[in-house]
Amino acid sequence: HAEAAVVPEQFLCPISSEIMRDPVVLASGQTYDRRFIQEWLSAGNRTCPQTQQVLSNTILIPNHLVRSMIAQWCTENGIALSPLENQEEDLVTNNERKSFSELFDRISSSSNISEKRQAIKDLRLLTKRNSSFRAVIGENPDSISQMISAVSNPELESNSEVLEDTVTTILNLSIHESNKKIIGDDTKAITFLISALQSGTMEARSNAAAAIFSLSALDSNKAKIGESGAMRPLVDLLEHGSMTAKKDAASAIFSLCKMHENKSRATKSGVIDVVLKAISDESLTDESLTILALLSSDHETVEEIGETGGVPCMLHIIKDDQCKRNKENAVAVLFSICMYDRTKLREVVEDENLNGSLAWLAQNGTSRARRKAAGILDKLKRTIHKTHYSC
């Protein structure tokens, strides 16, 4: 099965030529698999292997979007990636424990506001650069609540930079596997992220969405985040955010909707309108189709997609979009609409008589696209046959 699927170029690590398990971005803007670029840097290299550019720093930033696209592609193509060897077993040094507790003392007990602000900024930088520093949280699970309580102080609460730094610190901490549960179990953390999603600066909102995406890797967190009311502000960000924020929101919505209960929450929050509009504006086509394909397994949602003009929109993608994966997602959505809602078949028949897009896709699409297209054509044939005889 794996042989049949051609791995998209951008999913392969330029160093190992294998599918990336843990894609990270280097200062040069290139994405690599963490293990291989780490080896390259540990060998004393200070250039980007691809561009030969000298690096301004050696910070590795997780590429969440590519990671979620790889996961989705693997699921769709029946490819199981062996789990990451636990690279998170970072040895925490006593030195790091010491600086961690000093920082937290400054955050929670300093009476000097500007000192508090600096301590929060320092924590943001340390948790970004230093993975073993992220592991210290595991030894101090209450520290997240303490930090959130400290910034809820009236003098800090209205400071947009403090909010941004705190949200980004939670995002950095959430990257560490064992912290996902700690943060999810913290009564204040999810509420804090949702409030940042609603009222923070664009960067704070974007990073809050990225943190929600990161935390939602755990099913227990998917449920908590959905119940806490994250969906509406995420859909709002998907509609009105900056491009980066929209992508972070799309990743978070997609991940949350892997849990059935969150699908209807997303639909009630107006996600269908937003993604169909994004597809027709050609602004976030890939992400929007990925979300729709996931949602179309839900009966209520499919009805709404059909009623909101989903059929012409999907037919347009099947006919004109050059990307195979987009065609595949669009035909999967159209297949669900045709199975649930017979009234939409006429529209599909008219388009097919005119353009023959489904017949083309049934011959030339990906294996999943061919299956879905053939299924729709079969349904059309039987319906026409029935109508013919009942006349």
CA distance 252 to 213: 4
Which two structure tokens, joined as six digits, stand for 28? 């040069």
The predicted-structure confidence for 148-176, as pLDDT tens digits, reads as follows 988 887 878 788 899 999 999 999 999 88
Q: Residues near 310 by Cβ (< 8 Å), separated by ≥ 6? A: 272, 276, 292, 333, 334, 337
13 vs 7, 20, 35, 268, CA distance in Å?
11, 6, 10, 39
The predicted-structure confidence for 235-276, as pLDDT tens digits, reads as follows 999 999 999 999 999 999 999 999 999 999 999 999 999 999
The predicted-structure confidence for 274-308, as pLDDT tens digits, reads as follows 999 999 988 899 999 999 999 998 888 898 999 99
pLDDT of res. 35 = 85
Q: Are 36 and 16 in contact (CB under 8 A)?
A: yes
Which domains does the chain possess?
A: 9-77 (3.30.40.10), 93-265 (1.25.10.10), 270-390 (1.25.10.10)
Length of the chain measured in residues: 391
Give the pTM. Answer: 0.75
pLDDT of res. 336 = 94
Q: Pick the range with the lowest mean pLDDT from 120-129, 136-145, 275-284.
A: 136-145
Kindly indicate the confidence band of residue 231, based on its pLDDT and cuts at 50, 70 and 90: very high
* Mean per-residue pLDDT over the chain, rounded: 88
40 vs 33, 48, 51, 107, CA distance in Å?
11, 9, 14, 36
* Best CA proximity match to 216, nearest among 203, 230, 196: 230
